[in-house]
Amino acid sequence: MDHDSAPPANPPRYKLRLFITGSTPRSTAAIQNMRRICAEHLQGDYDLEVIDVYQHPDATRDYQIVATPTLVKVLPEPLRKIIGDLSDSERVLAGLNLAQEP
């Protein structure tokens, strides 16, 4: 069997939770920015769950959410939090360990 033709290792699947407060402009921007980043950099290898803390206040306890919007990278480990509207793509990619090496 030819080992050179082995399929590439599966990339990790990202489990992301985006905590927002209602449909404020900042929350809407965070959702749009995160969806764009996921589409451009994760090629479908992700699950993005948007959690409105007004509707699910208990959800903030597990991750100690103190500000919104906050993105939590649950998997792959380590767990990371990124606070803000996610408009700084470089910072978000660094937080997801997806930053391109210089």
pLDDT at position 50 is 97
In a domain, 1, yes or no: no
7 within domain boundaries: no
For 26-87, give the secondary structure using H, E and C.
Answer: HHHHHHHHHHHHHHHHCCCCEEEEEEECCCCCCHHHHHCCCCCCEEEEEECCCCEEEECCCC
- Which residue range forms the structural domain that includes residue 33? 13-95
User: Structurally, how many domains does the chain consist of?
Assistant: 1
Q: Which two tokens stand for residue 90?
A: 């470089």
User: pLDDT tens, 42-60?
Assistant: 988 999 999 999 999 998 8
Whether 59 and 53 have beta carbons less than 8 Å apart is answered as yes
User: Is residue 44 a part of any domain in this protein?
Assistant: yes
Mean pLDDT for 18-23 is 96
**pTM (predicted TM-score):** 0.85
Give domain status of residue 54, yes or no.
yes
Does any domain span residue 4?
no
